Amino acid sequence: MKPDFTCLYFLENQTHAVIEIKRYDLDEKADIADVYLWLILEKQSGNVQKLVFRSMDSSGEIQERYFDQGYLKFNSKTGTYIEKFNSGQHQLNNKTGQSFSTEITEALTNYLRA
C-alpha cells in the first residue's frame, strides 16, 4: 500500500530538503510522533532521516523547530537548518505549498514503506 500523507512544511536547497508531513495511513491510535514527522532528505544519496522533534517556537513571521539532530529557523520565504553533530548549516528556500519533485516523492515513499 502506498503511504498516504500531506506536506505541512517544505524547505529545500540544491542538496537537502527539510519536510514536515502528516500521515493518514496509520491506525487512529498511532502515536502523534508517528503521525507528524519532520524529515531531512539528502538529495544526492536519497537518504531520508527522521528528525526527532523536541520543541517549537514562533513569533510573528519567524518559526523555530528544535530537534535532537539540530535546529530549524524559517519564515515564509527562507530558512536555515543547523546540524547539531557535524555543524553543517543549510540555507533553504521555503517551498511550502509547492509540489515535490519526483525524486523527493520517491525517496519519501520508500522511507515510509520501510
pLDDT tens, position by position, 18-60: 999 999 999 999 999 999 999 999 999 999 999 999 999 998 8
CA distance 89 to 23: 28
- Number of domains, the chain: 1
Neighbours of 106 (CB within 10 A): 12
Q: Which three cell numbers stand for residue 29?
A: 491510535
> Residue 114 — pLDDT band, cuts 50, 70, 90?
confident
CA distance 28 to 60: 33
Q: b/e per residue, 78-104, with b = 16+ CB within 10 A? A: ebebeeeeeeeebebebbeeeebeeeb
pLDDT of residue 1: 63
Instruction: Look at residue 85 and tell me whether its pLDDT is greater than 90.
Output: no
pLDDT for res 104? 95
3 confidence band (pLDDT: 50, 70, 90): confident
- For residue 36, what are the domain limits? 5-113
- pTM for the predicted model, two decimal places: 0.94
pLDDT in tens, 86-101: 778 999 999 999 999 9
